[in-house]
Amino acid sequence: MTLAVGARHGRTMSWRRTDHRLAAIDAYRAPAIVRQRFAAEHDKLAQADLDQVESATRQWFRLAARHPRAKLTMPSSAAYALWRGVALQTDYAAFSKQAFGRRFPPPPADAASPPGVDFGALAETHRLARQDEPGGPTALPLLFRIDQQLKFPGGRRYLADCGGRGTCYDVPGALCLQHLQGAGRPVRGRNPFGPPPPDYSSPGGGGPGCGGGAG
């Protein structure tokens, strides 16, 4: 077998493994006990809403399966909460083996919400989620819109693009994904999902903003 043929064979096998893993993820449904507990903790959600949370969680799993070396971060509080519930089940190890070919580290059992925002990882997660769910320039993948869509308590709200060019227009309680990196990127140290402090002003002037291109 030549090197070229061997390389093609290796790529084919890799694609087949990925296809099998994605099929396992798309077929996966959270155990009934997990759904029941989640519904009890969030009793304002209808069953259709819970189905949407499951779909968002499967999107997260697909990103991890397709891009095992990517630096990803969980953007949704709702999907994070369901993932925690799933990870506590005895069948999670078997599911991980099918879906990822390895143990997929679960979220910390004592962490009730996703980790703090890593702008680089969030930008990469958003880019890959858009590949998983293509849409227009202002469309958000389900994993990024589910919290706002369901008004999930403690949820995270995103904008695909605030409309600013060179300066990110601040929208209290939301994070603009267009300006996570480069000009107009968010100011570090400020809660992106809450209103700015009363004395905050953009380094570029003109009132609150995501950073006005400051370094």
Please list the rounded mean pLDDT of every run of 10 residues in the chain (215 residues): 50 74 96 97 96 98 95 96 94 95 85 82 96 92 97 93 75 84 52 51 39 29
Supply the pTM of this predicted model. Answer: 0.79
The contacts of residue 22 (CB under 8 Å, 6+ apart) are 62, 65, 66
Backbone φ and ψ of 25, nearest 5°: -70, -45
Query: What are the sequence ranges of the domains in the chain?
Result: 3-156, 160-215
pLDDT attached to residue 180? 82
Q: Quick one: pLDDT at residue 17?
A: 84
Please state the φ and ψ torsions of residue 147, each to the nearest 5 degrees. -60, -45
The CA-to-CA distance between both ends of the chain, in Å, stands at: 52
Query: For position 185, what pLDDT does the model report?
Result: 54
What angle is formed at CA 63 by the lines to CA 116 and CA 33, rounded to 5 degrees? 80
Report residue 157 as tokens.
């709200």
User: Please, what is the Cα angle at 31 between 26 and 36, to 5 degrees?
Assistant: 125
Rounded-to-integer distance, Cα 77 and Cα 141, Å: 15
How confident is the model at residue 83, as a pLDDT? 96
Q: Pick from 159, 124, 165, 162: which is nearest to 144 by CA?
A: 159
Quote the pLDDT of residue 8: 54
Q: What is the pLDDT of residue 59?
A: 98
In this predicted structure, what is the pLDDT of residue 114? 85
